Amino acid sequence: MDPKGHEAPAPETHAFAREVCNGNKDALSFCDLWYAYCHQIDDLIDCKEDGRPTMSDEAILRIFVIAAMLYNCPFYVEHRQHLFPVVIMTTNLYADSVAWERSPVNRRRAIADVLRCCGDEMFAMVAMICGGWAHVRNVSPRIRERDFQLQHDENDQPN
């Protein structure tokens, strides 16, 4: 946990986020919150028994606090006209991923596996805002490959 109460990304992830944000400290704070928010929601979805969450009440409430901080941080407020649509699209992509991750249809499971990295769209938009097209093109492929590797084993199987 960082001083604000949310899970901090791994040091190498944080270093890469600094590059994505192109030196913008408000953008970095936003990305840290986005990272924590997405991972906490994923944990809530993944940690269910009989369809019910198994996270503690405190952990669930922390998701709401992170959301409040995320949607009120200076970078989000300043750029909400660009970031809000990404929030909606990312949520939709994640919903498709969750719905299809255990599908009996192979192509749907394959699509779900790719869509599980949908939160990366936000980092690409942040890169665009902080550095323009050349910057987003520089970091976007690395964002996608790194996230895929973090969520898969050495044989590219989901973990």
Tell me the domain boundaries of the chain: 11-150
Q: What integer pLDDT is reported at residue 3 of this predicted model? A: 37
Contacts of 30 (CB under 8 A, 6+ apart): 70, 73, 75, 76, 126
Alpha helix segments (H runs only) across 25-73:
25-46, 57-70
How far apart CA 38 and CA 91 sit, in angstroms, is 9
**Residue labelled with tokens 């805002």:** 129
* Percent helix / strand / coil, the chain, rounded to 5: 70, 5, 25
- Are 16 and 8 within 8 A, CB to CB? no
Spell out where the chain has E strands. Answer: 48-49, 52-53
| pTM given for the model | 0.88
- Are 98 and 111 within 8 A, CB to CB? no
Q: Is 130 exposed, middle or buried (0-12, 13-18, 19+ CB in 10 A)?
A: buried
Spans in the chain with pLDDT lower than 70: 1-13
Q: What integer pLDDT is reported at residue 157 of this predicted model? A: 86
Q: What integer pLDDT is reported at residue 151 of this predicted model? A: 84
